[in-house]
Structure 1
Amino acid sequence: MTLWTAAEAARATGGRATSDWVVSGVSIDTRTLEPGDLFVALTAARDAHDFVAQALENGAGAALVSRVPEGVPEDAPLLIVEDVQAGLEALGRAGRARTQARVVAVTGSVGKTTTKEMLRAILADQGRVHASVASYNNHWGVPLTLARMPADTEFAVIEIGMNHPGEIAPLAKMARPHVAMVTTVAAAHLEAFENIEGIAREKASILEGLEPEGVAILNADCSTADVLSRTAEALGARQVGFGETGDAFVLDAVTLHPEATVVQAHQQDEAFLFKLSVPGRHFAMNGLGALAAAQALGADLALSVQSLGRWTPYAGRGVRETLVLDPVETHRTLELIDDSYNANPTSMAAALEVLAHAAPKDGMGRIRHGRRIAVMGDMKELGPTEIALHQGLADLDAMQAIDVVHTVGPMMAHLHEALPEANRGICAETSADLAQIMSKQLDSGDVVLVKGSLSMGLARVVDAIRKMGHPVAPNTQDVSQ
């Protein structure tokens, strides 16, 4: 299928096409490039012009460049622009302009990618859906997602993130959503903001990109709900609140089971129930917000509820898997909760609540009773309150149900000291240090949660645990699709 012709791409970007080529996709990475893709030679950490020859050799249909790279012939299929980032943004805007799709944009301190994937699952049963890949939500991820959007898309789900003030509004204006959602506002990226109200104002700026008569889907339960609501009112957006105090999609009850979450809710006078395949109150809130957003896009609520039940989380975002530790005695298992992709105080508390409701198995290993074990890495970008925020995790109610806490990093060392001595596990400087000895800290029947900021590299610990056995029916999905 043709995504862009040379003439269309040149017209969109104001660039010059060296030949009459066509492309079927858009890529920024030679490692994941598919034959027929337009390779975009961004100049960020490395100048991707150095990889254009390789991309073309690997089957790229053309390359978006600001110059003819060394080793690439003049007659190679190229789109030459003044600035590659600006060219990608222009292509993204053109991709958005040519479609009649109903567009939803999602932001929030926690739950962006989860909610985006829930919406993908819901909308895929009601039309042709296009959504961001993984967490492609920044200054290149949003235009890349829009540039990849087929012209016949019926629903589009665009994730928008930020690290610093002023990032969200320009991306929202590029996406031009009919519906914009704020999952929640929490203490994430605090070092770039004076306070949580500043974070709320930045998240609320997603509403600046709304199309006329647009809808704002807002978490009514977060502490800064009034900031979100005032922004929506000032911009003339129709507000739909979700949560226990929501005015439209109201959360009535959440029941956590070891392997599922059952949610009771109502919208106006209509009660409904949905079940998620993983436990977690935070997943219940994400699901409720996703249902509200889907309905605002015109999706059928009853069908949306059914589709949501088929959603499963991405790897590293709460995926649960059972590992068989003994190839002969296959009942000897360990349960792993891989939530290693990222962390802030709110998402850490939610993950610990999931662990607290998990059901270890007794009488299976060297230790008579199965244990709830947490492996916790530093939470980054929290600013001057970072020590207190790490120490404060010790006071969470969920901690009362957790048997052992292993920590990684200098900030989590403060949590280690704040814990009762009986609950202190290993206090490691790096994930590599803990990964080397992790197998000796676990036993059959245990349930282990791994969570921390991405830069802490806790995926190493997850890999070390996985190497202890082999998985049984992992509950995950391929993020490369």
Structure 2
Amino acid sequence: MSLWTSAEIADATGGRASGDFAVEGVAFQSREVGPGDLFVALTGERTDGHRFVEQSFAQGAVGAIVSQRIAEPHVLVADTAAALDALGVASRARSGATIVGVTGSVGKTSAKEALFAALDRGRPGAVHRSVKSYNNHVGVPLSLARMPRDARFAVFEMGMNHAGELAALTRMVRPHIAVVTAIAPVHMEFFADETAIADAKAEIFQGLEPGGTAIVPADSVHRDRLTAAALANAAQVVTFGTGKDADVRAVEVMRVQTGGSYVTARVRERELSFTLGQPGAHWVSNALAVLAAVDAAGADLGLAGLALAELGGLAGRGARFIAKVAGGEALVIDESYNASPLAMRATLSVLAEEKGRHVAVLGDMLELGTASADYHAALAEPIMAARVDSVLLVGEAMGVLAERLEGRIDVVHVPDAAAALDRIDTVLAPGDAVLVKGSNGIGLSRLIARLGGRKT
């Protein structure tokens, strides 16, 4: 059965179909269009998707949503962005899937992917999720519109950097289960303090379906605030963490030789032991949130444990590879997608457990507001605790950290990713363990691409 027919698209969006057609997928970026897709020609300040209609059909699109007439099969609407929203809403309305929404200052993409793997282990091919980090006002309706008619479970990531944004997204997704992974100082330039961030993340509970479950981090200082917000909309609140009062908690955690952890977890009245493939305390926390969601969804906890053991590192979020360097090889830990003070500390603690010389390539943490200098300078402590031998600091904001570390370890400070590319070979040596982490806007993914081209 097709994902959408032209008649269904027209009915959902209030548009007019040029004729009969059926699509198997939905895309709004022409470079992502494949055979059988529907292309949504979004318009914005910088570009107009209608310019890419012909390219999209050349790549295999079989229909388009447009706001101006074209020769190819289409549904004509007044506003293509509103039409995409409407298609997402219609997809949610027709779905019988158990829907999980995931948000948090850190860990939401990793938790979303881990939860998808855990649910898919029990129902292969019947689980849908938002791809990449499609978690904003465009990515969420797109992910909804892509949801297969017969999906049994669906996991949607939702993000924000301003108050009110999550409220709009969650009312579109209408989750049965809403997860907050963690609260941390991210997007601080848009919020008065971390409490305001907690309130903004708690907006996810406003879209919960009747009888829904809220899942909150028990170890967070904002636990009670999140719980109070959840109780206004949730039938039950489930906490996860390491404390004895958490509903889903880690009873025991042991590091294993492969770098991950052996975890014994208590899930309400059940106990489950599994090996977690990904290293670090932050991944233990992610795993507990996943188990809480799997339990709330009525899925198989044992199979979820197997999925967590098999889960590999995500590109930009913990993927590992061996790269050639002058005279030998080095381990590269790819955390290049994003960065916050909490995430920096977590990944530096992972680096601390690695063998060999420790090298950290760290880029600016963006959107930290007036406290940015303090947050960057404070990284000196976890860097020293991780026994880092050499750091390559990238970006203007890292200047204060370079000053703090000068004379204590080997420090190289460069203005941007291009300069980092020029200096990386002077920093690395055979046997190194190299952590690469920074906010996405700094562009350290270019450095990962360079090193990835030298995989052994």
Q: Secondary structure at the match of 1:157?
A: strand
Residue of structure 1 equivalent to 2:266: 266
Residue of structure 1 equivalent to 2:290: 290
Query: 5 Å matches for 1:79-98?
Result: 79-98=75-94
- Once the two structures are TM-superposed, the CA of residue 436 in structure 1 deviates from its matched residue by 1.1
Q: Secondary structure at the match of 1:320?
A: strand
Residue of structure 2 equivalent to 1:193: 191
Contact map agreement 1:431 1:457 (CA 8 A) in 2:
yes
- Once the two structures are TM-superposed, the CA of residue 397 in structure 1 deviates from its matched residue by 7.0
Residue of structure 2 equivalent to 1:366: none
What amino acid is the match of 2:108?
K
Q: Secondary structure at the match of 1:125?
A: helix
Contact map agreement 1:105 1:175 (CA 8 A) in 2:
yes
- Once the two structures are TM-superposed, the CA of residue 398 in structure 1 deviates from its matched residue by 5.7
Residues 38-69 of structure 1: CA deviation (Å, up to 9, x unaligned): 0011113311111112212222111111112x
Residue of structure 2 equivalent to 1:300: 300
In the alignment, which of 399, 404, 409 is matched to residue 423 of structure 1? 409
Residue of structure 1 equivalent to 2:160: 162
Residue of structure 1 equivalent to 2:230: 232
Cα distance in 2 for residues equivalent to 1:399 and 1:179: 38
**Contiguous gaps of at least 5 residues in structure 1:** 361-370, 472-481
- Once the two structures are TM-superposed, the CA of residue 333 in structure 1 deviates from its matched residue by 2.2
Cα distance in 2 for residues equivalent to 1:210 and 1:169: 11
- Name whichever of 265-274 and 295-304 sits farther off: 265-274
Q: Secondary structure at the match of 2:289?
A: helix
Cα distance in 2 for residues equivalent to 1:19 and 1:225: 53
- Once the two structures are TM-superposed, the CA of residue 400 in structure 1 deviates from its matched residue by 4.7
In the alignment, which of 412, 415, 427 is matched to residue 441 of structure 1? 427
Contact map agreement 1:325 1:470 (CA 8 A) in 2:
no
Residue of structure 1 equivalent to 2:249: 250
Q: Secondary structure at the match of 2:31?
A: coil
- Once the two structures are TM-superposed, the CA of residue 255 in structure 1 deviates from its matched residue by 2.8
Contact map agreement 1:38 1:63 (CA 8 A) in 2:
yes
Contact map agreement 2:205 2:234 (CA 8 A) in 1:
no
TM-score, scaled relative to structure 2: 0.96
Cα distance in 1 for residues equivalent to 2:372 and 2:259: 33
Runs of 4+ in 1 over 4 A off after TM superposition: none
Contact map agreement 2:348 2:383 (CA 8 A) in 1:
no
- Once the two structures are TM-superposed, the CA of residue 431 in structure 1 deviates from its matched residue by 1.0
What amino acid is the match of 1:470?
K
Cα distance in 1 for residues equivalent to 2:434 and 2:336: 12
Cα distance in 1 for residues equivalent to 2:242 and 2:259: 23
Cα distance in 1 for residues equivalent to 2:251 and 2:58: 57
TM-score, scaled relative to structure 1: 0.91
What amino acid is the match of 1:250?
R
Cα distance in 2 for residues equivalent to 1:306 and 1:54: 43
Number of aligned residues:
451
Query: 5 Å matches for 1:15-26?
Result: 15-26=15-26
Contact map agreement 1:180 1:217 (CA 8 A) in 2:
yes
Cα distance in 2 for residues equivalent to 1:268 and 1:95: 33
Residue of structure 1 equivalent to 2:213: 215
In the alignment, which of 148, 151, 156 is matched to residue 149 of structure 2? 151
Contact map agreement 2:100 2:178 (CA 8 A) in 1:
yes
2:335 is the counterpart of 1:350:
no
Contact map agreement 2:278 2:311 (CA 8 A) in 1:
no
Query: 5 Å matches for 1:11-410?
Result: 11-44=11-44, 45-68=46-69, 72-73=70-71, 76-127=72-123, 128-245=126-243, 246-257=245-256, 259-325=259-325, 332-360=328-356, 371-396=357-382, 399-410=385-396
Contact map agreement 2:91 2:145 (CA 8 A) in 1:
yes
- Once the two structures are TM-superposed, the CA of residue 407 in structure 1 deviates from its matched residue by 0.3
Identity value in percent: 44
- Name whichever of 23-32 and 336-345 sits farther off: 23-32
Cα distance in 2 for residues equivalent to 1:268 and 1:151: 33
Residues 175-214 of structure 1: CA deviation (Å, up to 9, x unaligned): 1110000000100011111010110011001000000010
Contact map agreement 1:378 1:412 (CA 8 A) in 2:
yes
- Once the two structures are TM-superposed, the CA of residue 247 in structure 1 deviates from its matched residue by 2.5
Q: Secondary structure at the match of 1:421?
A: coil
Q: Secondary structure at the match of 2:101?
A: strand
Q: Secondary structure at the match of 2:392?
A: strand
- Once the two structures are TM-superposed, the CA of residue 392 in structure 1 deviates from its matched residue by 0.5
Residue of structure 2 equivalent to 1:470: 455
- What RMSD over aligned residues (CA atoms) do the two structures have, in Å? 1.5
Residue of structure 2 equivalent to 1:6: 6
Residues 388-437 of structure 1: CA deviation (Å, up to 9, x unaligned): 00001112276351111110011111111111513132100011101112
Residues 81-140 of structure 1: CA deviation (Å, up to 9, x unaligned): 111111001000111111110000000000111000001101112220000011000001
